[in-house]
Amino acid sequence: MAQPTTTAPPAGTDPPTETARHADPAQLREAALRIRRHIVRLAADSPGAHVGGSMSATEIMTALYFGGVLRVDPAAPGWPGRDYLIFSKGHSSAVLYAALSERGFFPVEELATYKQPGSRLPGHPSRDIPGVELATGSLGHGLPVAVGLAIGLRHDGAANRVFAVLGDGECQEGSVWEAAMAAAHYRLENLVVIVDRNGFQEDGPTEEIMGLEPFADKWRAFGWVVREVDGHDVAAVGEALHRVPFAAGRPSCLIARTVKGHGLSFTSNTHTWHYGKFSQEQRARALAELDDAGLDDAELDKAGLAGAAEARP
Amino acid sequence: MTATIPAAPGSAAWIERHGRSAVDTCRLAQLAAADDDPRVFSLEGDLGDFGGLAFQQRYPERFLDMGIAEANLIGTAAGLAMRGKVPFVNTFGSFALMRACEQVRLELAYHQSNVKIAGTFTGIAAGFSGPTHHCGEDLAIARTLPGMVTLAPADAVAAWHLTLAAARWQGPVYLRLGVDATPVVYDETATFRIGGSNVLRDGGDLTIVAAGLTSVASALAAAELLAATGVEAGVVDLYCLKPIDGEVLAEAARRTGLILTVEEHSTIGGLGSAVADELAGSHPVPVRMLGLPDEFAHDVCSYEDHLRRCGLDAAGIAAAAHEHLRRWRR
């Protein structure tokens, strides 16, 4: 029988008990690999997908959803005690949908409907997808909403955190810096920004189109505590995110140094595959490259990781 | 000791105490809503000295000044609404609906966020301040956004009631509030509802449909001028442009067969357009639209003179009514 205690959290705010699963490094790598294979399929079997920014953000999303960082309940996406994930770089919907489905927010098989008539999975996330908090795709919109959420949570005395995933090119939008200023002013230690710093935007390298450097210094100057990490070292990303807030009374910014299109030889480190459709030949080549990385193709057709995990004794 | 009986909204005592500015009574109504509902927040864009400081004093933890950054102002309000708050956003109508239009469109309209925009410095009420401080496009923008309730109170009494109605409404609302004190139209008997309108005067020759500060008062004054010349004009205050009161409009069109619309807004997309859009599908009759011309103000001008130049004073409205009647009745 539970003992009454004065420090018990309010009813209904306990985090789900299964948040810490998949924190094992091998399982994290497997989750990332499965997500990449989904991205390949989405880029080949639909009118096209934002491949580069999805591939670069794969380990970030893996750490969030499978590294025990986000306190979420796929069976109850609206659970009031959840952490909020604002996926501001909405064009990279392929990695978001792959992660959400693998985590169990909706069936993995539904990914096959991506951009198809009647689907609830458009090219940019809509408001009605389980696990999607904010419809994004117009850049620069996510962080202001994250600021409002963080203020509201603090007002309620709630322990939920707000994580916002931003693209680096997105940080050319002025609204990002309006919100960055407000987050520091209101001392939002429950707010975490993760920037997918892959160095490219649609038209080319960020430093050639509209330079962002010194990027970390900009966030610091706006009052954030900044950490930088190898954005493809999923354990390192998870480790960093387990340490938020980086300092009391200040918002946290994790700059994930990534490679655009990471994981495939022909999409890596270029803006050419910012958006595109894979031919059947490219599809086969991509899946073969990922197979070489160690995943049995047949595995992907089974239920997502969430279902597989629950099926285990 | 005798208990103080609160003055009924719209009564002479209430107006004496609360004033004749829609901006002020909207602010006071936000405070009243906050008294009743702990979810109500007030957000500022560095314009709190326009009546916002009373809220700050009473509820500092629910008052947020977001500085001069309107995209973040709207996004922050949307984030608060996601946590169940009822934020009022206080800023110029043009800043909310033009500078931050896409945030309003996506974060508020698409998500049906429970955010209320209290838009000030609308129309040409900023007078001498010039075109950067005029705003003749806000109603057109607001009403084209799916699910955006669009309100244009006629006076300080209507602003009070419609602010409270907005607080009770679930979903995004835009309120058009002008700048300073304006003529009072309503008394303590007035009622308002989202989707409603008020028939303020009966008349069988034509119907003047007006909305907003000064326009409704001037329409009533114009109806008096017309009556003196033997023309009986009905007057409808269409304070809610969206959802629009199609029944009252169709009935007015059936009864009088001629409509004159009056607004301190561009005739492109505003009240006149909303009325014509509705009647085109229900009871088509000739609609003449009085409003701001399709141009920016090009010289310094007082509010009153500017309204007169645009034909939005009582004499101008009456003259337009006579022209409309001459064109279609004789």
What residue spans define the domains of chain A?
Answer: 25-264+276-311
- Please tell me the distance in Å from B48's CA to the nearest CA on chain A: 17
A131 DSSP assignment? T
Q: How many residues does chain B have?
A: 330
Q: Is residue B253 classed as helix, strand or coil in its secondary structure?
A: helix
Per-residue pLDDT at A304: 57
Asked if B82 and A182 come within 8 Å (Cβ–Cβ), the reply is no
A chain contacts of residue B106, beta-carbon cutoff 8 Å: 135, 138, 141
Over chain A (313 residues), the average pLDDT of each successive run of 10 is 38 45 79 96 97 98 97 97 98 98 97 96 97 98 98 98 98 98 98 98 97 98 98 96 97 98 96 96 95 61 50 29
- For residue B293, the number of C-alpha atoms closer than 13 Å in the C-beta half-sphere is 10
Q: Which of B182, B174, B93 is nearest to B133 (CA)?
A: B93
For the stretch B9-42, pLDDT in tens is 999 999 999 999 999 999 999 999 999 999 999 9
Q: Does A179 touch chain B (CB under 8 A)?
A: yes
- A182 → closest Cβ in B69, B83, B107: B69
DSSP E strand stretches across chain B:
40-44, 63-65, 86-92, 116-120, 149-151, 173-176, 198-201, 206-210, 233-237, 240-242, 259-266, 287-292
Q: Does A133 touch chain B (CB under 8 A)?
A: yes
Q: Which of A283, A183, A263 is nearest to A226 (CA)?
A: A183
Per-residue pLDDT at A17: 43
* End-to-end Cα separation, chain B, in angstroms: 67
CATH architecture of the domain covering A25-264+276-311: 3-Layer(aba) Sandwich (3.40)
Distance, in Å, from the CA atom of B161 to the CA atom of B154, rounded to the nearest integer, reads 11
What residue spans define the domains of chain B?
Answer: 12-176, 198-329
Distance, in Å, from the CA atom of B313 to the CA atom of B320, rounded to the nearest integer, reads 11
The CATH number corresponding to B198-329 among 3.40.50.880, 3.40.50.920, 3.40.309.10, 3.30.930.10 equals: 3.40.50.920
**Considering the domain B12-176 in this protein, what is its CATH number?**
3.40.50.970
- For residue B147, the number of C-alpha atoms closer than 13 Å in the C-beta half-sphere is 17
Per-residue pLDDT at B299: 87
Per-residue pLDDT at A15: 46
List, for chain B, all residue ranges whose pLDDT scores fall below the cut of 70: 1-4, 330
Contacts of residues A266-270 at CB distance under 8 Å and 24 or more positions apart, as own/partner, are: A267/A51, A267/A52, A267/A55, A268/A55, A269/A199, A269/A200, A270/A52, A270/A200
A chain contacts of residue B107, beta-carbon cutoff 8 Å: 134, 141, 144-145
Fold agreement (B12-176, B198-329): yes
pTM: 0.93
Among chain B, residues having any CB pair with chain A shorter than 8 Å are 61-62, 64, 66-67, 69, 71-85, 87, 102-103, 106-107, 110-111
* C-alpha distances out from residue A192 to A55, A164, A166, B133, B196, Å: 21, 6, 11, 37, 44
* Bridge partner residues of A153 (DSSP): none
Q: Which residues contact B53 (CB under 8 A, 6 or more apart)?
A: none
- For residue B85, the number of C-alpha atoms closer than 13 Å in the C-beta half-sphere is 28
* Contact indicator for A192, A218 with CB cutoff of 8 Å: no
Per-residue pLDDT at A164: 98
A155, closest residue in chain B (CA to CA): B61
A chain contacts of residue B82, beta-carbon cutoff 8 Å: 84, 133-134, 145, 148-149, 152
- B76 → closest Cβ in A135, A138, A151: A151
B187 DSSP assignment? -
